[in-house]
Amino acid sequence: MKFSLSAVLLLTLFGIASLTLVSSISESAYSLNQTFSIMALHPYKQNVQLHPFTIGQFGYVYADSGVGSGSFTLKNSELFYNNEHASLDKNGALFFESSGFPVSGFEAKQISSVGYELHLNNTFPVACPITNTNEVYQIYYGKGNGNSDCIGVTIDAITS
């Protein structure tokens, strides 16, 4: 089977263009130049699925069915909420504070024109139910709070 030089060149250019398109969509970013909201996703757990992140007392993060907090930013692999940086407590609970040590290693991978999948050092968090409620889950990195009902979730940054 013979191929003409122009056919080989055309196939090569098509392959390079396809690779460029795929890599630009799945490229990771350590900074996003806009504010965004964050949503928890879990396909089988309705009490977590599509619940926005809410900042509660002492800056702790929850997935709640109410109105979420939408002023998150990502700069140099650090996550911020209203200029307070993300930190982890001794149990791995995610919270935001203005002093102390920020946690570094957040990365956003674009999955659509308005959405990014967020990772922390290539891991996803777990959502653990708050005692006496099935509607609110606290966000942890690591094992969670020891509750056997903790579930792994993906988190997405939704830009406007």
Both tokens of 156, joined, read 């997405």
Contact of 38 with 157, CB cutoff 8 Å:
yes
CA 160 and chain centroid, separation: 16
The pTM score is 0.76
- CB count within 10 Å of CB 98 equals 9
pLDDT tens-digit profile of 55-81?
888 999 988 876 666 789 999 999 999
pLDDT tens-digit profile of 82-138?
989 999 999 999 999 998 789 999 999 988 877 899 999 999 999 888 877 767 889
CATH class of 28-158: mainly beta
Task: Name the residue ranges covered by the structural domains of the chain.
Answer: 28-158
Alpha helices in the chain (DSSP H): 5-25
